[in-house]
């Protein structure tokens, strides 16, 4: 297990043995305070730990304060090139900053930002992507290789270290999963700073979920990584859902509902896809003291046996549902009542 230097974004600890946190980024116009606040609250309700906001101009930077007044989740500003935006984001009370110091020009500008984050005890994320490497590094390596990503990241790190700043986390993202994995492994060997994992521009929820699960999951399984963001095209709430399930699938989140459902076959006598989707939506926000395994099976052949292995299980078919708890049949009911009955049992048994 890699041991990293711990930092804090608001009240969320990152690295140093802290639980792996899940991040996302709003897709609203940050200057639209109402829309951004609404999306942040949806992300938080879904289980997001940290949210990042794009700050393209001064109006967006000045909106951060109003957004923070109406939200509680830690907020990170995402800034490129303009150090004045970083200074204004600090004035507005941002909890963390994503900025690459090598891109903001003269040393006095970098120093102004570093002095500001030091004063407020705010960490910086250095974020290197395969699509935005420095020209000299690209020329040296010939393409955005894993080695090029790491060299770029450590160049930015050195700039901050020269100003005696060390509250840093780093990302080296690529759209190429194998390249991303290699880059983070190299980076993990090069430094003890906290690592923010992600496959950049992973794509649609279908393909992006697969790429992110492989890339992020394989690194976490090897003990590499301290915080994650799944980058998907679409509703950012889906990013949180996938991120949390990556952590649950490898035993790094021990709360919430773990849904188990059969793939379906010709024996199905129930609309299993709709049933699972409905249950998933109803229980996704639960924060439980321990993981609760909920099985939803769609036939009377294997269903009862498999449902009985879960904390709570439903075997459906022939117009009814049978509810199992701790391996024992509790009751049966009509098919149209399955979701309500299952949610009622979960809430009465596991939700405080």
pLDDT of residue 104: 87
pLDDT of residue 341: 86
> Which of 67, 54, 55, 158 has its CA nearest to residue 107?
158
Running DSSP on this structure, what letter comes out for residue 20? P
Q: Is residue 58 part of a domain?
A: yes
Q: Is residue 316 part of a domain?
A: yes
Q: Is-contact 254 290, C-beta < 8 A?
A: yes
Same domain, residue pair 39 and 112: yes
pLDDT of residue 150: 96
pLDDT of residue 302: 59
Same domain, residue pair 275 and 303: yes
3-state secondary structure of 219: helix
Q: How many CB atoms lie within 10 A of CB 17?
A: 10
At which residue do the structure tokens 């794009």 appear? 54
Q: Is residue 53 part of a domain?
A: yes
Phi/psi at 315 (5° precision): -115, 120
Torsion of the alpha carbons at 14, 20, 21 and 24, rounded to the nearest 10:
120
At which residue do the structure tokens 């160049």 appear? 155
Same domain, residue pair 235 and 263: no
21-25 and 12-14 beta bridge pairing: unpaired
Same domain, residue pair 136 and 240: yes
Q: Is residue 2 part of a domain?
A: no
The whole-angstrom separation of Cα 197 and Cα 185 is 11
Q: What is the DSSP string of 286-345?
A: ---SS-EEEEEE--TTTHHHHHTTSSEEEEEETTEEEEEETTEEEEEEEGGGHHHHHHHH
pLDDT of residue 350: 79
pLDDT of residue 301: 59
Reading the block at residue 193, the tokens are 């700073």
Domain containing 215 — which CATH number?
3.20.20.20
Number of domains in the chain: 2
Sheet holding 312-317, edge to edge: 257-261, 292-297, 312-317, 320-325, 328-334
> Which of 181, 256, 172 has its CA nearest to residue 212?
181
Same domain, residue pair 202 and 83: yes
pLDDT of residue 299: 66
End-of-domain residue from the set 221, 249, 277: 249
Same domain, residue pair 121 and 61: yes
pTM score, whole prediction: 0.84
Same domain, residue pair 266 and 302: yes
Same domain, residue pair 157 and 288: no
End-of-domain residue from the set 249, 270, 296: 249
Angle at 57 between CA 49 and CA 154, to 5 degrees: 60
Bridge partners of 78, per DSSP, are 54, 98
Same domain, residue pair 132 and 23: yes
3-state SS, one letter per residue, for 175-192: CCHHHHHHHHHHHHHHCC
End-of-domain residue from the set 215, 249, 283: 249
Q: Is-contact 23 195, C-beta < 8 A?
A: no
Q: Which domain holds residue 185?
A: 7-249
Same domain, residue pair 87 and 227: yes
The whole-angstrom separation of Cα 25 and Cα 43 is 9
Query: pLDDT tens digits, the chain, 352 residues: what are they?
Result: 788 999 999 999 999 999 999 999 999 999 999 999 999 999 998 899 999 999 999 999 999 999 999 999 999 999 988 999 999 999 999 999 999 888 888 899 999 999 999 999 999 999 998 888 899 999 999 999 999 999 999 999 999 999 999 999 999 999 999 999 999 999 999 999 999 999 988 788 899 999 999 999 999 999 999 999 999 999 999 999 899 989 988 888 866 777 777 776 666 767 778 888 888 777 766 767 777 888 887 765 555 566 666 788 887 777 788 888 887 888 888 888 888 888 888 888 877 6
3-state secondary structure of 263: coil
Q: Is residue 1 part of a domain?
A: no
């Amino acid at each position: 297990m890699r041991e990293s230097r711990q930092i804090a974004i608001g009240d969320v600890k990152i690295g140093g043995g802290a639980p792996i946190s899940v991040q996302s980024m709003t897709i609203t116009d940050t200057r639209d305070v109402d829309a951004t606040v609404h999306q942040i609250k949806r992300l938080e309700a879904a289980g997001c730990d940290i949210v990042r906001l794009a700050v393209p101009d001064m109006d967006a930077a000045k909106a951060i304060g109003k957004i923070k007044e109406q939200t509680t989740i830690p907020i990170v500003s995402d800034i490129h090139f303009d150090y004045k935006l970083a200074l204004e984001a600090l004035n507005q009370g941002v909890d963390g900053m994503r900025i690459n110091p090598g891109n903001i020009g003269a040393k006095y500008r970098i120093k102004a930002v570093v002095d500001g984050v030091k004063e407020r005890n705010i960490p910086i994320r250095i974020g290197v992507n395969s699509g935005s490497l420095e020209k000299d590094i690209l020329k040296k390596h010939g393409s955005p290789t894993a080695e090029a990503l790491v060299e770029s990241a450590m160049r930015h790190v050195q700039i901050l270290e020269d100003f005696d700043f060390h509250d840093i986390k780093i990302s080296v993202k690529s759209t190429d999963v194998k390249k991303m994995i290699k880059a983070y492994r190299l980076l993990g060997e090069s430094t003890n700073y906290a690592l923010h994992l992600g496959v950049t521009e992973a794509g649609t929820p279908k393909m992006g979920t697969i790429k992110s699960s492989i890339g992020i999951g394989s690194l976490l399984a090897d003990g590499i990584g301290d915080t994650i963001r799944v980058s998907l095209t679409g509703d950012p709430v889906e990013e949180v859902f996938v991120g949390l399930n990556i952590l649950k699938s490898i035993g790094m989140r021990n709360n919430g509902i773990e849904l188990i459902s059969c793939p379906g076959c010709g024996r199905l006598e129930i609309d299993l896809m709709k049933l699972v989707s409905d249950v998933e939506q109803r229980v996704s926000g639960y924060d439980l003291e321990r993981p609760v395994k909920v099985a939803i099976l769609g036939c009377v052949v294997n269903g009862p046996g498999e449902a009985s292995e879960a904390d709570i299980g439903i075997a459906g078919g022939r117009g009814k549902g049978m509810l199992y708890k701790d391996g024992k049949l509790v009751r049966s009911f009509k098919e149209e009542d399955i979701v309500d009955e299952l949610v009622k049992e979960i809430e009465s048994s596991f939700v405080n």
